């Protein structure tokens, strides 16, 4: 096991160490973060494939003291190595997706254009490879008795982890922070689109509930799916949250409502564009509105305080800016706090 006796959590983070400068590796950590530098199907701004690297770079500036979790650094948090094949596969497929999206914007369809159909087949096959790779890596982490987390990349990346958790948990809910509902069926023809992640998650029988928070950009088809879900999907739209607060409810009351919808075991999926875009201006698809940093973490803290068990989590769509590290600084701090709360809820802290 990695030596921790001489580690000083008050000292500067050393970049020769693992994420946050912590003295852990995948073998000695209790929580292992699987990086997925992937953005093949993004439909607006690119850059999220750089999210894992940017968060790692920013993490060394994060103070390790967390008032909610005493001695949080001792939990054991480590960033795994990136799967060798993913960066190259992402780099090869992203230009193909850009060509395909450009043809869609010109009014062409795969049914009419054989070249488009061939591009789509290659992209969908590559995205399936990514999901299978993530699932295999997460299963390895879970088999070792550790908690697995994913940091993307775009929001298509955690499907493999959700599937892997199904081998260990027969019934759990998803707490989903996002500006978007992500309930589109094969958006733009991409089966594993970032805009389809929750549509795909709902195909997993072990996911009994999807509770969405902060949603403010969605289509009629998605709204209808939510209405037709018979309570399996419960969505707290941003405008409705605001109205409740404007009319006198406290955030604590709204959070109690949100948490009451969740089963005993919870997976947290966090798209950073669920936050106010001033906190993540370079994310792929920013939308006005959204949650403040502490407001979002308060929800997760209430999940922990309720006695529910957080079994895994992801953070996605962090995209570094060209001239600043603001998004990465926010992402690194959000990831650390989520990990600490997850550890405490699961008895690891």
| Annotated domain spans of the chain | 19-345
Q: Identify the band that residue 249 occupies on the pLDDT scale cut at 50, 70 and 90.
A: very high
Residues of the chain with pLDDT > 70, as a percent, come to: 99
Residue 265 in tokens: 């075991």
Q: Identify the band that residue 3 occupies on the pLDDT scale cut at 50, 70 and 90.
A: low
Residue 145 CB contacts under 8 Å (≥ 6 apart), including other chains: none
Q: Using an 8 Å Cβ cutoff, are 76 and 31 in contact?
A: yes
**19-345: CATH topology:** 3.40.800
pTM over 0.75: yes
Residues of the chain with pLDDT > 90, as a percent, come to: 92
Residue 120 in tokens: 């789509």
Angle at 24 between CA 27 and CA 301, to 5 degrees: 105
pLDDT in tens, 199-220: 999 999 999 999 999 999 999 9
Q: Comparing 2-6, 70-74, 185-189, which segment has the lowest mean pLDDT?
A: 2-6
Give the largest CA-CA distance in the chain: 65
Q: What is the pLDDT of residue 324?
A: 82
Beta-strand (E) ranges in 77-232? 77-79, 147-152, 172-177, 207-215
What average pLDDT is seen over the chain? Answer: 96
pLDDT in tens, 123-163: 999 999 999 999 999 999 999 999 999 999 999 999 999 99
Across the range 14-32, mean pLDDT stands at 91
Q: Using an 8 Å Cβ cutoff, are 222 and 181 in contact?
A: yes
Q: What is the pLDDT of residue 2?
A: 45
- If one compares 349 and 252, the residue with the highest pLDDT of the two is 252
Given a cut of 80, whether residue 4 has pLDDT beyond it is: no
In angstroms, the CA 161 to CA 166 distance is 9
- If one compares 275 and 45, the residue with the highest pLDDT of the two is 275
The 3-state secondary structure of 282-344 reads CCCCCCCCCECHHHHHHHHHHHHHCCCEEEEEEEECCCCCCCCCHHHHHHHHHHHHHHHHHHH
Q: What is the pLDDT of residue 142?
A: 98
Determine if the peptide bond prior to 153 is cis (ω within 30°): yes
Q: How many CA atoms lie within 13 A of 257 on its CB side?
A: 14
Q: Identify the band that residue 44 occupies on the pLDDT scale cut at 50, 70 and 90.
A: confident
Q: What is the pLDDT of residue 5?
A: 73
Rg of the chain taking only CA atoms, in angstroms: 19
Strand 309-316 relative to strand 147-152: parallel, antiparallel, unpaired?
parallel
């Amino acid at each position: 096991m990695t030596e921790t006796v001489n580690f000083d959590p008050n000292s500067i983070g050393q970049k020769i160490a693992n994420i946050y400068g912590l003295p852990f590796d995948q073998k000695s950590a209790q929580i292992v973060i699987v990086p997925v530098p992937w953005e093949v199907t993004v439909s607006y701004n690119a850059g999220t494939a750089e999210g894992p690297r940017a968060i790692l770079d920013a993490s060394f500036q994060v103070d390790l003291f967390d008032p909610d979790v005493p001695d949080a650094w001792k939990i054991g948090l480590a960033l795994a190595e990136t799967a060798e094949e993913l960066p190259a596969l992402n780099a090869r497929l992203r230009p193909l997706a850009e060509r395909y999206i450009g043809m869609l914007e010109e009014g062409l369809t795969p049914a009419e254009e054989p070249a488009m159909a061939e591009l789509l087949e290659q992209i969908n096959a590559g995205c399936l490879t990514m999901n299978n790779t993530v699932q295999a890596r997460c299963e390895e982490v879970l088999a070792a008795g550790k908690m697995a987390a994913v940091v993307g990349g775009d929001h298509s990346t955690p499907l493999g982890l959700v599937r892997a958790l199904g081998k260990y948990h027969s019934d759990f809910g998803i707490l989903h922070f996002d500006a978007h509902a992500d309930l589109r069926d094969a958006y733009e023809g991409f089966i594993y689109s970032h805009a389809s992640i929750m549509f795909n998650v709902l195909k997993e029988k072990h996911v009994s509930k999807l509770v969405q928070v902060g949603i403010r950009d969605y289509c009629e088809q998605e709204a209808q799916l939510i209405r037709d879900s018979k309570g399996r999907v419960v969505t707290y739209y941003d405008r409705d949250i605001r109205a409740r607060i404007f009319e006198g409810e406290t955030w604590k009351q709204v959070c109690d409502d949100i948490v009451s919808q969740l089963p005993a075991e919870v997976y947290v999926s966090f798209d950073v564009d669920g936050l106010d875009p001033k906190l993540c201006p370079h994310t792929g698809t920013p939308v006005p509105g959204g949650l403040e940093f502490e407001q979002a973490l308060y929800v997760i803290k209430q999940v922990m305080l309720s006695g529910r068990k957080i079994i895994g989590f992801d953070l996605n769509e962090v995209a570094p800016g060209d001239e600043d590290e603001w998004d990465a600084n926010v992402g690194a701090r959000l990831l650390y706090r989520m990990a600490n709360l997850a550890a405490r809820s699961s008895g690891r802290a």
